[in-house]
């Protein structure tokens, strides 16, 4: 049996907070994380960046602990502690030795109760503005931000996770406090644990320490996004750059779709390490990067990728990229699908080798789908992907409907 084959224990506290516990008797560490069902797409346009701002402020201390004491406690755990913000999830995580499980839970929980002091807010605002400026100097990130704004239009999936200098500069303590209260309520929170721990002891701890977690309103229901795909490339001229960055997006499948694994296989056939784009553009020396991935959200998905190349080759490389997408059906053969599916299955197994790697698969999957699946179950989904399923993805998501953005020292692309 694969590691992680034990059925995870799911328990919902009376206030709505979910516990997701997967004990592994042969593990040597414990990993824990608070998975919060909120992200950049839940923000008002004028408060863009609030989710990421809150993520930073969580590490600035609670009413009970200063920032220095809180972060010393995280360091004392010995494992990696960190956080990240996405479009639909914000996650706070840490790892430790089994004998420190109680300290791990206490410290992570204190992290989730920030003081949101005005002085901390102003200091961290400067940090985030520097982060925004740093990413603005990275062409690969700039072009993706431009692409998603074009592709998703006015829908919140097009929001910048970091926000803009304007929105971050304008965020007040009142606005951030409101966002925290509204979007960190118990019913939006899942505490996941993996590794060497006793589930009964964790349930007892949670009953005693999490029962007073404030409730919150359920997430609002919004219309699904309607992406734009004009089948053209918008050029953002930048004569200071020496390379051209091109990003493209086409419709994909939502995270709950039964063919989501087949969509991942299709993306790998086209834009994976050994996919068609590699042989058409990298092996030939026409581009220095080229890829395609399938991104999943709760009510939508997208195939997103692109390339980087010399400006003189940009049109030729774009033509080849589009030709690979147009001829994708020819890539769907039994041996190729089997290889791609096996690669994705092995990647799933490799991530599950450590409690921390397994934590993210378990928590993110549950947050997105409401299912607590074992590693063997996740692997089995890829084992069942057929050529017919991959062709059905291509039928549902024809890759001739795309949006493109080019950034670099050029004025037009056809």
Summarize pLDDT for 246-262 with one digit per residue, the tens.
999 999 999 999 999 99
Which domains occur in the chain, in start order?
9-209 (3.30.830.10), 233-408 (3.30.830.10)
Summarize pLDDT for 280-313 with one digit per residue, the tens.
999 999 999 999 999 999 999 999 999 999 999 9
Position 161 scores a pLDDT of 97
Q: What percent of the chain has pLDDT over 70?
A: 99
pLDDT interval class at 224 (50, 70, 90): confident
Question: 220 vs 44, 86, 182, 183, 309, CA distance in Å?
Answer: 12, 18, 11, 11, 42
pLDDT interval class at 226 (50, 70, 90): confident
**112 pLDDT above the threshold of 70:** yes
Summarize pLDDT for 3-53 with one digit per residue, the tens.
556 789 999 999 999 999 999 989 999 999 999 999 999 999 999 999 999
Summarize pLDDT for 345-363 with one digit per residue, the tens.
999 999 999 999 999 999 9
CA 83, CA 74: separation in Å to the nearest integer? 12
Position 40 scores a pLDDT of 96
* Average pLDDT for 178-207: 96
What's the predicted TM-score (pTM) here? 0.95
The b/e string for 235-247 (b: 16+ C-beta within 10 A; e otherwise) is: beebeeeebbbbb
**1 pLDDT above the threshold of 50:** no
**78 pLDDT above the threshold of 80:** yes
Task: At 50, list the tokens.
Answer: 């609030």
Adjacency order of strands within the sheet including 189-195: 9-12, 18-23, 189-195, 30-36, 90-96, 82-85
Least Cα distance to 325 among 273, 403, 256 occurs for 403
Burial of 101 (0-12, 13-18, 19+ CB in 10 A): buried
Position 62 scores a pLDDT of 95
Position 232 scores a pLDDT of 80
Summarize pLDDT for 379-400 with one digit per residue, the tens.
999 999 999 999 999 999 999 8
Position 216 scores a pLDDT of 79
Instruction: Write the DSSP symbol of residue 242.
Output: S
Position 5 scores a pLDDT of 63
**133 pLDDT above the threshold of 90:** yes
Least Cα distance to 98 among 25, 171, 173 occurs for 25
Question: 71 vs 35, 52, 67, 309, 347, CA distance in Å?
Answer: 19, 18, 6, 43, 32
């Amino acid at each position: 049996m694969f590691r992680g084959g034990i059925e995870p224990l799911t328990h919902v506290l009376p206030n709505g907070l979910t516990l997701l516990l997967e004990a592994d008797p042969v593990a040597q560490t414990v990993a824990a994380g608070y998975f919060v069902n909120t992200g950049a797409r839940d923000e008002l346009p004028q408060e863009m960046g609030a989710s990421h701002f809150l993520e930073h402020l969580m590490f600035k201390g609670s009413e009970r602990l200063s920032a220095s004491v809180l972060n010393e406690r995280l360091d004392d755990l010995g494992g990696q502690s960190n956080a990240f913000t996405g479009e639909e999830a914000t996650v706070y995580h840490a790892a430790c030795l089994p004998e420190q499980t109680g300290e791990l839970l206490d410290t992570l929980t204190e992290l989730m109760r920030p003081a949101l002091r005005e002085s901390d807010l102003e200091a961290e605002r400067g940090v985030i503005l520097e982060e925004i400026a740093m990413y603005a100097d990275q062409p690969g990130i700039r072009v993706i931000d431009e692409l998603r704004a074009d592709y998703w239009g006015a829908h919140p999936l097009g929001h910048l996770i970091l926000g803009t200098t304007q929105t971050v500069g304008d965020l007040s303590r009142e606005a951030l406090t409101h966002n925290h209260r509204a979007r960190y309520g118990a019913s939006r929170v899942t505490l996941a644990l993996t590794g060497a721990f006793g589930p009964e002891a964790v349930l007892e701890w949670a009953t005693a320490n999490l029962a007073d977690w404030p409730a919150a309103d359920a997430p609002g229901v919004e219309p699904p996004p309607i992406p734009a795909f004009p089948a053209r490339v918008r050029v953002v001229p930048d004569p200071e750059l020496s390379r051209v960055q091109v990003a493209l997006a086409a419709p994909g499948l939502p995270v709950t779709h039964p063919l989501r694994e087949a969509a991942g296989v299709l993306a790998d056939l086209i834009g994976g390490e050994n996919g068609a784009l590699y042989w058409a553009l990298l092996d030939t020396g026409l581009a220095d990067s080229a890829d395609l991935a399938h991104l999943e959200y709760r009510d939508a998905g997208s195939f997103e990728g692109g390339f980087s190349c010399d400006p003189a080759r940009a049109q030729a490389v774009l033509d080849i990229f589009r030709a690979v997408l147009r001829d994708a059906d020819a890539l769907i053969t039994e041996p190729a699908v089997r290889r791609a599916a096996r690669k994705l299955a092995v990647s799933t197994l490799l991530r599950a080798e450590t409690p921390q790697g397994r934590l993210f698969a378990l928590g993110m999957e549950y947050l997105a789908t409401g299912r607590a699946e074992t590693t063997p179950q996740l692997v089995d989904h890829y084992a069942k992907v057929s050529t017919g399923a991959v062709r059905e993805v291509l039928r549902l998501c024809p890759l001739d409907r795309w949006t493109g953005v080019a950034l670099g020292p050029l004025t037009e692309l056809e």
